[in-house]
Structure 1
Amino acid sequence: MFMMKIEVSDQAIHWFKEEVGLEEGNKVRFFSKIYGSSPVQEGFSLAFTIDNDSKNAAVQTESDGITFFVEEPDLWFFNGHDLFVGYNEALDEVEYKYSKS
């Protein structure tokens, strides 16, 4: 069975803290949304929300006191890929990269 990984760069964590106001103990849930585009699912893109109450993480990682996770119903979106959350300096926003393990 595939075990997905999530990695978040230091620059992306800084962006989440500065732009979204996250602090230690917060949780960020990544989920699929209809419309948009991604290299892993046509017609769907990835979004995030602050979800400090969720206890149903299928995959998670913690960095600098912030938990980043995906719930079981959204694992299909990744289609066997790991998620890397980086920062695009030119656009001043986070960007998602997907790689097969």
Structure 2
Amino acid sequence: MKLAVEQAAARWYKDQMGLSDGDSLRIFIRLGGCGSVHPGLSLGIAKEEPRNPGLIQQTEGITFFMEEDNVWYVDNKELRISFDDRYEEIKMEVV
């Protein structure tokens, strides 16, 4: 399993959420939304410190992570977080 965060996506989060170098963002599973991996579930993000990270990636000074008890969502694949210039929005996909 792997977590890959593109620089453009990390910069977008820094700008939109007022983040500073050293801050952490938790990627978590939530009910509802437009998730394509598991019906009825999608991914959310929150500014929090890691407790027991299962996946972790530092990009642009920000630590992105998913706690160990949520990595089943990725199911031995890669979670890619990118920024879509065309729509000016974040794209999270499991590949």
TM-score by length of 1: 0.86
Question: Could you tell me which residue of structure 1 aligns to residue 41 of structure 2?
Answer: 44
1:1-101 aligned at under 5 Å gives the runs 4-52=1-49, 54-99=50-95
Partner deviation per Cα, 1:43-93 (whole Å, 9 max, x = no partner): 1000000003x3211110111221110001111211222111001223322
Give the CA RMSD over aligned residues.
Answer: 1.2
- Supply the distance in 2 between the matched residues of 1:74 and 1:66 (Cα, whole angstroms): 20
- Supply the distance in 2 between the matched residues of 1:92 and 1:19 (Cα, whole angstroms): 12
SS at structure 1 position matched to 2:51:
coil
Between Structure 1 and Structure 2, how many residues are aligned?
95
- Supply the distance in 2 between the matched residues of 1:90 and 1:74 (Cα, whole angstroms): 30
Partner deviation per Cα, 1:10-59 (whole Å, 9 max, x = no partner): 1101101111111110001000001123221111000000003x321111
Runs of 4+ in 1 over 3 A off after TM superposition: none
SS at structure 1 position matched to 2:63:
strand
- Supply the distance in 2 between the matched residues of 1:91 and 1:22 (Cα, whole angstroms): 22
* Runs of at least 5 residues in structure 2 that lack an aligned partner in the other structure: none
TM-score by length of 2: 0.90
* Runs of at least 5 residues in structure 1 that lack an aligned partner in the other structure: none
- Supply the distance in 1 between the matched residues of 2:20 and 2:64 (Cα, whole angstroms): 12
